[in-house]
Amino acid sequence: VCELLLSDKEYVGFATLPNQVHRKSVKKGFDFTLMVAGESGLGKSTLVNSLFLTDLYKDRKLLNAEERITQTVEITKHTVDIEEKGVKLKLTIVDTPGFGDAVNNTECWKSVADYIDQQFEQYFRDESGLNRKNIQDNRVHCCLYFISPFGHGLRPLDVEFMKALHEKVNIVPVLAKADTLTPTEVKRKKIKIREEIEQYGIKIYQFPDCDSDEDEDFKQQDQELKDCIPFAVIGSNTVVEAKGKRVRGRLYPWGIVEVENPAHCDFVKLRNMLVRTHMQDLKDVTRETHYENYRAHCIQSMTRMVVKERNRNKLTRESGTDFPIPMVPGATDTETEKLIREKDEEVRHSPLLYNQNKYMKQN
């Protein structure tokens, strides 16, 4: 009978749920926060403009060598609203000018780590507040870390930066200015950097494994992305003519480097990964792993402080000591706890009340 009823009701309607979610999401719009880090001159600004076909650095002022010596690491934000085929994206680029430019770069990554923690803290406060309707998500979803092509792999600064941040943000390493290297040098350098990342225990962003039901083309594309780490990239905001076509590229005396030519660099693969295939996964990992770790740490710290404060108040009330118990650093008091302490102080300073209190406890 059940089978007969089910066959009569072939279509219930919940198959349209994905369409409902899609419509709602498109109406609401999407947001994505991308951080770019690396020393000056590696083409960070050019690459960001090339990735999103926009000019985010129109009013940028370049410092001379003398000014860069004393410059500290700044954190600058650029937000732009992009629309494509009716889908709106609020893109925030977090730049780190001054990183790695000083003579002494000791802990120059600290301000970057502090910024990421501040965004987690702000989201945690908003999420724990009374009005949670329109929470602004400014958490950093991805950090493109630019590695210099001049050298024999990772420098100590690269290792320290990535180790300091790899548990706070999704790090995607990028081999900058790949047009300064031959294809053989690019291949050799990629292998060297991957080996050093594993050697130093650096946790970069891990691409999710493909589902068993995915088609072979998608699996191959995913494997190619994994093999591309670090992405060897070239950026350009100028259009040049190559073989009768106008393309974005760089014109050299010996020829033209095309930014969007997969044979010349990994720019297209990086863009596809960031925008077309893994943007949502980057946001999911940020929410489910990095933010959850921060949130759990906060809740544990708050719980420990509350337990310490309660034990301290209990000890004060039961012991009837004449000396004040030192405050726990960072502990917050409720109105009730304040009143209890005030009463305890009154009892201690009044001999009659104090003796009565002692008598009551003894009996």
Confidence label for 325 from pLDDT (cuts 50, 70 and 90): very low
113, pLDDT greater than 70? yes
The pair of three-digit structure tokens given for residue 117, joined into one six-digit string = 């923690």
Rounded mean pLDDT of 180-187? 91
- Pick the closest to residue 149 from 103, 108, 94, 193 (CA basis): 193
Pairing of strands 245-252, 142-147: unpaired
205, pLDDT greater than 70? yes
Handedness of CA 235, 271, 169, 205 (dihedral sign): negative
Higher per-residue pLDDT: 288 or 363: 288
Phi, psi of 316 (to 5 degrees): -65, -45
What is the per-residue pLDDT for 91? 86
Q: Could you tell me the CA-to-CA distances from 44 to 34, 136, 233, 234, 352 in Å, in that order?
A: 12, 26, 10, 10, 74
What is the per-residue pLDDT for 363? 45
Residue 107: count other Cβ atoms within 10 Å of its Cβ: 11
From 36-45, 210-219, 320-329, the region with the lowest mean pLDDT: 320-329
What is the per-residue pLDDT for 226? 83
